[in-house]
Structure 1
């Protein structure tokens, strides 16, 4: 039974990793197309901020999928070595996601100041990086 569970989890890990890679790839392609489109139409460094924000959201989501695949990988009878590797990878990916979310929130705040729109609510889940 444990062998069957390990096989199923192995397939799930592959699927979740592929989903994460697909999210990042789609985000990169979308951002590149927008980058070219915005650069041709408007130019200027401020025109690229929304493109960076969107790419950042795709990267953050892709990192979440990759972390989920790592958690799944260690779900079936993990060794202490695998748990240690998971802890290290989770810490690195969580730190990357945290700083990426902070940068996205800061860019949103700057865009809101420049456009006169209301700034994001610091208490909102989106501002804390959960809805990025």
Structure 2
């Protein structure tokens, strides 16, 4: 293969990767945006119905957190793609720093989601069921 063909191939590969990076990052941004809009609509509806309870807001936060985690994963995938073809040391360092921050965000968001979900499942912040005015340990 001639040097010119090699350069054109690498240039074309960079162009294709650049397009893929834009698509993947745009997808991540759209996921985060969709989750934010969804959470806002749920928040407004809960307030309008007068159901502004802690359990309702916790469920909204959990839903938003899931969108954020997924969107951040797409953003990280875009960063990995960006450095897939002949990265420089500067690009590798920059990607490592970005990956570390996004991974930490994902970790803490995921941990908070798991804790909130466990809290809801055991009834800590869940809305009380109908007719549960008295404590369950009431002696007869």
TM-score, normalised by the number of residues in structure 1: 0.85
1:66 maps to which of 41, 60, 75: 75
Corresponding residue number in structure 2 for 1:7: 15
The 5 Å alignment of 1:75-94 reads 75-94=84-103
Give 1:101's aligned residue: 110
**In structure 1, how many angstroms separate the alpha carbons of the residues matched to 2:63 and 2:55?**
14
Number of residues paired by the alignment? 116
Q: CA RMSD in A?
A: 1.2
Aligned 8 A contact 1:16 1:68 in 2:
yes
> Does residue 43 of structure 2 align to residue 40 of structure 1?
no
**Could you say what secondary structure the match of 2:84 adopts?**
coil
Give the distance between the partners of 2:118 and 2:55, measured in 1 at CA: 13
Residue 18 of structure 1 aligns with which residue?
26
1:43-58 residue pairs with structure 2 within 5 A? Answer: 43-58=52-67
Partner of 1:128: none
Greater shift in the superposed pair: 40-49 or 60-69: 40-49
Q: CA deviation at 1:78?
A: 0.1
> Could you say which structure has the larger radius of gyration?
2
Structure 2 gaps of 5+ residues are 1-8, 127-140
Q: Which runs of 4+ in 1 moved over 2 A?
A: none
CA drift of 1:46 comes to 2.0
Q: TM-score, normalised by structure 2?
A: 0.80
Residue 45 of structure 1 deviates from its aligned partner by 2.0
Q: In 1, distance between residues paired with 2:23 and 2:60? A: 28
